[in-house]
Amino acid sequence: MEKSSITTIDETRLLRINEVAKLTTLSKSCIHLWVAQGRFPAPIALSPTVKVWRLKHLVGWIENQSSQEDSGNSGANFQSMGVAA
């Protein structure tokens, strides 16, 4: 298998909530809350009870959080949650 095929597989990989929690170190309840608040990527509903996230969307979200932290905007994120930075 060539490298571009592996990259494509990784980019299209789907993760269930437990894998998302491990990847992000967020609790499942926090993930659900942030999805409802529009602060975390919304899952794809495969059925009424099965929801998944695309790995590439999560990686993009994590990178965006890192870039906000690097630019000094992390305090604003915590303040919107009612937490002192």
What is the reported pLDDT for 4?
A: 56
0.85 exceeded by the pTM?
A: no
Could you give phi then psi for residue 42, rounded to 5 degrees?
-75, 145
If you ran DSSP here, which 8-state letter would residue 83 be given?
-
Could you give phi then psi for residue 73, rounded to 5 degrees?
-95, 5
Domains of the chain as residue ranges with CATH: 13-71 (1.10.1660.10)
**The two three-digit tokens of residue 78, written as one number:** 């915590």
What residues in the chain have per-residue pLDDT under 70? 1-9, 73-85
What is the reported pLDDT for 85?
A: 39
